[in-house]
Chains A and B, each alone.
Chain A
Amino acid sequence: DTEVTQTPKHLVMGMTNKKSLKCEQHMGHRAMYWYKQKAKKPPELMFVYSYEKLSINESVPSRFSPECPNSSLLNLHLHALQPEDSALYLCASSHPLSGETQYFGPGTRLLVL
């Protein structure tokens, strides 16, 4: 099973709202990732968790707050977003070694009004 699940599939939020995106995998992977993808562009890395600890933060604004409560779950908490944050947010997972295959979820389509 190479499935990564994400909820919700779609999310519309105002600039003052607080919401969370959720990601789950049961492949035993100990590395999990958040990516942001704008239309007609490749995914851009936001955060990497390795063994439930944040290992990479690609200078993402603090209005995005990641959390890894256990080895299967990854959350992205959203607060005070801007319209330019509207995008497809993708979660991925892999074994934590360099050069290991990353498996992506279907994404959450976020619209900030």
Chain B
Amino acid sequence: GENVEQHPSTLSVQEGDSAVIKCTYSDSASNYFPWYKQELGKGPQLIIDIRSNVGEKKDQRIAVTLNKTAKHFSLHITETQPEDSAVYFCVQGGNKLVFGAGTILRVKS
């Protein structure tokens, strides 16, 4: 069946450093890849998404890259801040969302 592998499962960085989360998907027909951030006690919030007609998208400190040939996509957060601490999910979009297992990001100040 469809699945998304996400790494690492936990990531600790110092404030101001960069964080990178990587995902691999299985459905080569998929063309939509959103990323969600979930803070403690809250629902997932869309932070950025990318469609297969582009290889990279950036929004301030957040960027996402997509390699359709390798079926990889990654989230890059630069100049991390304590408020970036949360669980991040990569998702393969489609009729049903297929979530990665999640990455717990801790930003130490």
Contacts and interface: CB of A to CB of B under 8 A. Distances in A.
Given A43-B44, A90-B43, A107-B42, A56 B99 contact: no
Contacts of B97: 43, 45, 102
A99 B42 contact: no
- The B interface is mostly helix, strand or loop, or mixed, namely loop
Interface of B: 31-32, 34, 36, 41-46, 49, 51, 89, 93-97, 99-102
A49 interface: no
A59 interface: no
B101 A42 contact: yes
6 contacts: A42-B100, A45-B96, A48-B96, A98-B95, A101-B46, A109-B41
Given A98-B94, A101-B49, A106 B99 contact: no
A56 B45 CA distance: 23
B101 A99 contact: no
Interface of A: 4, 6, 40-43, 45, 48, 56, 90, 98-99, 101-107, 109
A107 B43 contact: yes
A10 to B, nearest CB: 10
Contact of B43 (A41, A101, A106): A106
Given A42-B100, A102-B46, A104-B44, 7 more contacts: A48-B96, A56-B96, A90-B44, A103-B46, A104-B36, A104-B45, A105-B43
A40 B36 CA distance: 15
B51 to A, nearest CB: 8
A75 B24 CA distance: 34
Contacts of B95: 98
Contacts of B93: 98-99
Given A90-B44, A107-B42, A101 B34 contact: yes
Nearest to A90: B43
B25 to A, nearest CB: 14
A86 B73 CA distance: 33
Nearest to B101: A42
A21 to B, nearest CB: 13
